[in-house]
Amino acid sequence: MIRKRSGSIYLKNFHKHIILIFLFLTITACVSQKAKIETIYSKAENLYKTGHVEKAISYYKSVISKAEKSKDLSPFLRSYYKILSYYRIGEIDKALKEIEEIPFPSSFYTDNYLLLKAIYFNELGLNLISKEISENLLYTKNDDILEEAILLFSKNIIKLHNSKNLNEKEFLSSIKKIKGVLKKHFTSPIIHYSLFSLYLNNRDYKEALDEAVLSLELGIKGTLKRDLLFSIKYISSKLDESILKNYERILRRYNVTND
């Protein structure tokens, strides 16, 4: 009797262990798929932002492929990674189509959803709507979304300002809002770059140069850095020599003097 009971207990425990192992392996497989996609996407973003666009494209394509096949990603996250990857590789039509069909996510991903909508309306040329959505994201706690939102916000402000759909007071108010964000994120080269582009658009060359230098010194990379270096030469031609003397050492270091 004792042996029978111990054998029965052993079998029950054995079955429990098998079930636990199965659940562990299933959960681990799901987590690893999701983590793998996030890792590949992060790698793609790093390459893209440091100017290695061609290398980044292959990673973005891998994200799209894996997201389409993944069974553990939620419908929203599957679309989210595909949309951002399509957007980065220039397949805008596919990104827009995916956005049109994207399901509304849980509250945890609301800011991610709003970013996609801001991108969507910007690509459609509906800059006022995109500007309103991206402006709401200036208060997000997600730093990656914040920087993307500020770039979109500044692009929309410039387009609206140039088309006379934003007056001078509204334009300056937008700069003030970005400066408000900058108080908590002073070391972000992206935010300084956005201020630079706004000042340059408004022909405030001294302020534009200040923000350009800060963005460079804080480590701006990739196409944004090349844009800054090209623009500094133009800005320098608009400023008095007495002002440029204060920047001489820095400008020489980046080889953007007018000598």
Note the pTM of the prediction, 2 decimals: 0.78
The arithmetic mean of pLDDT across residues 78-89, rounded, is 91
User: 136-180 pLDDT, tens per residue?
Assistant: 999 999 999 999 999 999 999 999 999 999 999 999 999 999 999
Q: Does residue 10 have a pLDDT over 70?
A: no
125 burial type by CB count under 10 A (0-12 exposed, 13-18 middle, 19+ buried): exposed
- The DSSP letter of residue 15 is H
CB neighbours of residue 233 within 10 Å: 13
pLDDT score at 32: 66
Higher pLDDT, 90 or 7: 90
Q: Cα separation of 149 and 95, whole Å?
A: 17
In whole angstroms, give the CA distance from residue 94 to residue 249.
Answer: 46
Cα distances from 34 to residues 65, 67, 143, 145, 200, in angstroms, run: 13, 9, 21, 19, 42
Average pLDDT taken over every residue of the chain = 85
pLDDT at 256 over 90: no
Flag whether pLDDT at 27 surpasses 50: no
* CB-based contact 70:82 (threshold 8 Å): no
Per-residue pLDDT tens over the stretch 99-127: 888 887 777 789 999 999 999 999 989 99
pLDDT at position 14, please?
45
* Choice among 2-16, 69-83, 154-168 with the minimum mean pLDDT: 2-16
- pLDDT-wise least confident of 9-18, 27-36, 88-97, 175-184: 9-18
Q: What percent of the chain has pLDDT over 70?
A: 86
Other beta carbons within 10 Å of 178? 19
With a cut of 90, say whether residue 203 has pLDDT above it: yes
Over its C-alpha atoms, the chain yields an Rg (Å, rounded) of 25
The more confident residue out of 103 and 205 is: 205
| Domain ranges across the chain | 19-45+53-103
How far is it, in rounded angstroms, from Cα 150 to Cα 181?
9
Mean pLDDT value of segment 78-84: 90
**Three-state secondary structure call for residue 146:** helix
pLDDT at 4: 47
Model confidence at 1: pLDDT above 50: no
Name the H helices within the chain: 2-49, 53-69, 75-88, 92-100, 110-123, 127-136, 143-162, 168-182, 189-201, 205-217, 222-236, 241-244, 248-253
**Residue 17 banded pLDDT, cuts 50, 70, 90:** very low
Distance from C-alpha of 123 to C-alpha of 137, rounded to nearest angstrom:
18
